Structure 1
Amino acid sequence: MTLNKEKRLKDVEQTLKKSSLNEKLSKDLYKDLFIEALEGIVFWSGNGKIVKVNEAACRIFESSKDELVTKNLKDFVYLKNYKFIKVVDQLFERGSIRDELDFLMPNGQIKSLEFTAKLNSVDGFHMTIFRNVTDRHQMERELRESEMKFRKVFEEALEGMILWNKKYEVVDINQVGMRMLHLTGKSFIGQSIIQMIEDYNVNKEELYRYFEELRDSGFANGVLKINVSTDRKIYIEFSAKHNVFSKLSLISFKDITEKLEIEEQLKKSDTLSVVGELAAGIAHEIRNPMTALKGFIQLLEDSIREDHSMYFNIISTELERIDSIINEFLILSKPQTVKFIRKDITEIMKETVEFLNAQAVLHNVQIQTFFEKGLPDIFCEPNQMKKVFINIIKNAIEMMPEGGMITVLVELTTDRRIHISIRDEGVGISKEKIKKLGQPFFTTKEKGTGLGLMVTYKIIEEHKGSIRVESELGVGSIFHIYLPV
């Protein structure tokens, strides 16, 4: 009997301890799940009357516990519209629901609350758990607005722009960039941006150096020369920034080819101006003694013995050459008073070729011509245009010491300019030297002065035209002259 009694006492004691533990655990769980929860928890009756709330719910609804238990959930719903009615119907139909509605706070603030509601959750009361997502929605709106602004800037920018991701895959390119790079469609999306740029025959070492700089410092800028087509090269100035937006990198670029050409023309113009002033002074100082020398040579002509006539001829020839150089100096010095008239460029070229044919034959060179019919006249100074053609064709003859063919073509371009091309089969000119053609005293010939091409460039410039030179070593050169009609 005693043993049974002790056993019963121990069982009661164990049960009490267990009950105490469960009660403690229950209180701790209640404290964690209800009182200290970050989400607002509201218990309400069947008609929506609030019966119990936690601290988080008070913070969300901007009210105290005493104020909230006098309210109905319907009092907080902003614009009790169709959606609210639909949510309530679905809750009572399913027993639980998860959704989002706008709620009006007592201070007039509107909050977007995400909630989960469950019927008959505890002691016959319904429970709703609220989470304030207003800030999240605001951030999302700001992000969308930011994206829209970025997209607007991206699409309407005056510069070309390309976006790529961390895998260096092209994500997008704006319309200006597509036009500048001669792209159509969207086939380049997903392609490597490095490979995409490489396809334009850029300097690979230079390209890789820029991307290494971008990777290391997050920023890179510079100038690249690209081939947008088989016959067109352009210079693009770019600025690249790493991770500018949503883990995307951006490169913006613009075509500065025309800008560089203008700068180059300005440099040449400044140089020609300085050389012109120098040339005027030199020509003036040389011409005076030259006049005296020529006069005395003519006086001595009749008294020269026959065995000295060769010396006389050499002196006369060299004086004529000096006089020719002086005239070229004078052309460079200052703008000449030139009378422009309407003239057929074909006629000028025919007369020039006829004049040079004898010299060409002596050097085993043939000159063939192709003239488009019905070419419009141009405003020009015919003698100066002849000087241009003589300079270029004579250079072509001298560039072919073993003979060859010179091809002259005159035609009208699609943009209504006269195009004159003079092609030879000579030794060619290196790319480095082509850039220097027309500069003061630069020449590709051993005994040349460089004045001929300087004069040529100056005359074409005064005629509002342009000169472009193509050449390949060992193959020959082509001088392209463009003149307005």
Structure 2
Amino acid sequence: MTLNKGILLNDYSEDTFAKEKHLNEKINKDLYKDLFIEALEGIVFWSGRGEIVKANEAACRIFECSHEVLVTKNLGDFVLVKDSNYKQIVNQLFENGSIRNELVFLMPNGQEKSLEFTSKLHSVDNFHMTIFRNVTDRHRMEKELRESELKFRKVFEGALEGMILLNTEYKVVDINHAGEEMFNISKSNLIGQSLIDILMEFKLNHEDVMQNVESLRENGHLNGTYQINSFSGKRRSIEFSAKYNVFSKLSLVTFKDITEKLEMEEQLKKSDTLNVVGELAAGIAHEIRNPMTALKGFIQLLEDSIQEDHSMYFNIITSELMRIDSIINEFLILAKPQLVEYIDKDITKIMKETVEFLTAQAVLHNVQIRTCYENGLPNVFCEPNQMKKVFINLIKNAIEVMPKGGLITVSMELTADNRIHISIQDEGEGIPEDMLTKLGQPFYTTKEKGTGLGLMVTYKIIEEHNGSITVESELGVGTIFHIYLPFEKYRV
């Protein structure tokens, strides 16, 4: 029984092995068939000379041929350029037995396709096999992406506005040339730094900056303006527009310096105001001057008959009439431009004469005037009396803002851009920032009995001399008026 069982067991094992072998062959054949026919990539079997003997449906679609036509072709017939690169690929294939590479193939319909392929010799039944993948669309998209990136780079680098690319942590990834100039920092020193930290260096409010960052993240965009102190010390207005996650998790910030634009708008407002006030002033001044002339005449006639007891009243009336007359003269200066004669004049000499004229008044107020004039300053094409009026107005103002005394520093020098820079500095209480922009407006004054016309006249005269005035002030420290005048000749 044991022997019989052994025989039966042996018979059963041989039969089982045969069945399993047949089953495995069938599975492998079915698996091969499924993989070959259903594969998304093109599969081609070819002979030693490149003749195509079999191809799947995907290969037929890639080569734009039916199977009947494709098996009449040679793989080499489809290669667009059989150059040294092609010959090297063929040599490597037959030397190594397999290769993976990419070539451009020409289809029967004239279409060119970039095909990535993997070839292996003696793959099945002594035939060679090549698997093809169409990468034309991928190359096209890569080309379009490169072209798009190139266009963006040209726009980015050529833009007149500053541009910054930020990553998700708000660190600078890139900055264009215009941005470097505005920040006055090189790209190498900015890349990798946090934009938030950079803004903090400009003395911005941390809470405001973080609020803007959160708003950008939530809304996807943000527009605004920052007032910053540049590294040169000048106060600048920067307008910005930010877009969150524009592409590849990068955010874009564009910004531009609108300081000059705002200053120009402010100058236009002042100019319009000056025109209106000038027209009004001309009419008022002429209307007042006639009765004023009569009043001064009669006062002079009464001067001899004024009793000693009333001399004080007479002096007050005379003093106030003189003050009214001074205001009328300022009104007339604000009126339409008068005929003035511009000549080449030593601006240093004009300033020296002004300082000498006001020295006595300064001493009475316990004020010292210190001067610093650069040697060899060129002449300025100006109307001397008007320039003297400007200097008188500013130095008198400086004296009056220091009732307890102090120091006035007057300096004159030549700037790098060939202008005369005149500065008049006092040690008064200073002017609040919100009031600085109003200086030069009609009837705006910081003095108790002032009319504001003096500074308005000063601004007008400097403007007519093709110059400019800027003011910087710090509370508790003092104020500096900066006058910039061209010294080349011009005609008005």
Instruction: Report if TM-score (shorter chain) is over 0.5.
Output: yes
Task: Report the secondary structure of 1:116's partner residue.
Answer: strand
Residue in structure 2 matching 1:134, options 120, 133, 136: 136
Structure 1 residue runs of 5 or longer lacking an equivalent are none
- Tell me the equivalent position of 2:333: 331
Residue in structure 2 matching 1:97, options 96, 99, 105: 99
Q: How does 1:361-372 map to 2 (within 5 A)?
A: 361-372=363-374
For each residue in 1:217-252, what CA deviation from the matched residue of structure 2 results, as whole angstroms up to 9, or x when unmatched? 222222223333243333222222223343322222
- Tell me the equivalent position of 2:171: 169
Residue in structure 2 matching 1:31, options 23, 27, 33: 33
- Tell me the equivalent position of 1:423: 425
Task: Report the secondary structure of 2:160's partner residue.
Answer: coil
- Tell me the equivalent position of 1:346: 348
Tell me which moved more, 431-440 or 208-217. Answer: 208-217
Q: How does 1:106-125 map to 2 (within 5 A)?
A: 106-125=108-127
For each residue in 1:309-356, what CA deviation from the matched residue of structure 2 results, as whole angstroms up to 9, or x when unmatched? 221111111111111111111211222222212211122112211221
For each residue in 1:425-449, what CA deviation from the matched residue of structure 2 results, as whole angstroms up to 9, or x when unmatched? 1111111121211111111112211
* Distance in 2 of aligned mates of 1:412 and 1:91: 79
Tell me which moved more, 330-339 or 229-238. Answer: 229-238
Tell me which moved more, 1-10 or 425-434. Answer: 1-10
* Distance in 2 of aligned mates of 1:368 and 1:11: 121
Q: 2:292 matched to 1:294?
A: no
Task: Report the secondary structure of 1:225's partner residue.
Answer: strand
* Distance in 1 of aligned mates of 2:371 and 2:78: 93
Q: 2:471 matched to 1:433?
A: no
* Distance in 2 of aligned mates of 1:342 and 1:84: 82
Q: State the AA in 2 paired with 1:465.
A: G
For each residue in 1:43-78, what CA deviation from the matched residue of structure 2 results, as whole angstroms up to 9, or x when unmatched? 112221111111111111111111111122112122
- Tell me the equivalent position of 2:204: 202
Classify 1:42/1:230 alpha carbon distance in 2 versus 1 (closer, same or farther; 3 Å). Answer: same
Task: Report the secondary structure of 2:230's partner residue.
Answer: strand
Q: State the AA in 2 paired with 1:464.
A: N
Tell me which moved more, 196-205 or 106-115. Answer: 196-205
Task: Report the secondary structure of 1:201's partner residue.
Answer: coil
* Distance in 1 of aligned mates of 2:370 and 2:90: 95
The answer (yes or no) to whether the contact 2:238–2:258 under 8 Å persists in 1 is yes
Shift of 1:27: 4.3
Tell me which moved more, 21-30 or 433-442. Answer: 21-30
Shift of 1:185: 5.5
* Distance in 2 of aligned mates of 1:311 and 1:85: 118
Q: State the AA in 2 paired with 1:294.
A: K
- Tell me the equivalent position of 2:393: 391
Residue in structure 2 matching 1:267, options 253, 266, 269: 269
Q: 2:229 matched to 1:246?
A: no
- Tell me the equivalent position of 1:449: 451
Shift of 1:212: 2.6
Residue in structure 1 matching 2:409, options 400, 407, 410: 407
The answer (yes or no) to whether the contact 2:228–2:236 under 8 Å persists in 1 is yes
- Tell me the equivalent position of 2:490: none
Tell me which moved more, 228-237 or 75-84. Answer: 228-237
Q: State the AA in 2 paired with 1:100.
A: E
The answer (yes or no) to whether the contact 2:174–2:187 under 8 Å persists in 1 is no
Q: State percent identity of aligned pairs.
A: 71
Count of residues paired in the alignment: 485
Shift of 1:142: 1.1
Structure 2 residue runs of 5 or longer lacking an equivalent are 488-492
For each residue in 1:436-470, what CA deviation from the matched residue of structure 2 results, as whole angstroms up to 9, or x when unmatched? 11111111112211111111111111111111112
* Distance in 2 of aligned mates of 1:362 and 1:308: 28
Task: Report the secondary structure of 2:246's partner residue.
Answer: strand
Q: State the AA in 1 paired with 2:358.
A: L
Task: Report the secondary structure of 1:186's partner residue.
Answer: helix
Task: Report the secondary structure of 1:453's partner residue.
Answer: helix
Task: Report the secondary structure of 1:194's partner residue.
Answer: helix
The answer (yes or no) to whether the contact 2:175–2:187 under 8 Å persists in 1 is no
Task: Report the secondary structure of 2:190's partner residue.
Answer: coil
- Tell me the equivalent position of 1:310: 312
Tell me which moved more, 167-176 or 127-136. Answer: 167-176
Tell me which moved more, 312-321 or 161-170. Answer: 161-170
- Tell me the equivalent position of 1:214: 216
The answer (yes or no) to whether the contact 1:44–1:125 under 8 Å persists in 2 is yes
* Distance in 2 of aligned mates of 1:374 and 1:88: 84
Residue in structure 2 matching 1:357, options 351, 356, 359: 359
The answer (yes or no) to whether the contact 1:202–1:227 under 8 Å persists in 2 is no
The answer (yes or no) to whether the contact 1:210–1:221 under 8 Å persists in 2 is no
* Distance in 2 of aligned mates of 1:4 and 1:390: 133
Classify 1:14/1:338 alpha carbon distance in 2 versus 1 (closer, same or farther; 3 Å). Answer: same
Q: State the AA in 1 paired with 2:334.
A: L
* Distance in 2 of aligned mates of 1:69 and 1:341: 99
For each residue in 1:176-213, what CA deviation from the matched residue of structure 2 results, as whole angstroms up to 9, or x when unmatched? 22122212351222111222233233344443343333
- Tell me the equivalent position of 2:467: 465
TM-score for the superposition, normalised by structure 2 = 0.92
TM-score for the superposition, normalised by structure 1 = 0.94
* Distance in 2 of aligned mates of 1:55 and 1:185: 55
- Tell me the equivalent position of 1:379: 381
Shift of 1:376: 1.4
The answer (yes or no) to whether the contact 2:100–2:117 under 8 Å persists in 1 is yes
* Distance in 2 of aligned mates of 1:314 and 1:212: 65
For each residue in 1:405-437, what CA deviation from the matched residue of structure 2 results, as whole angstroms up to 9, or x when unmatched? 111112222222122111111111111121211
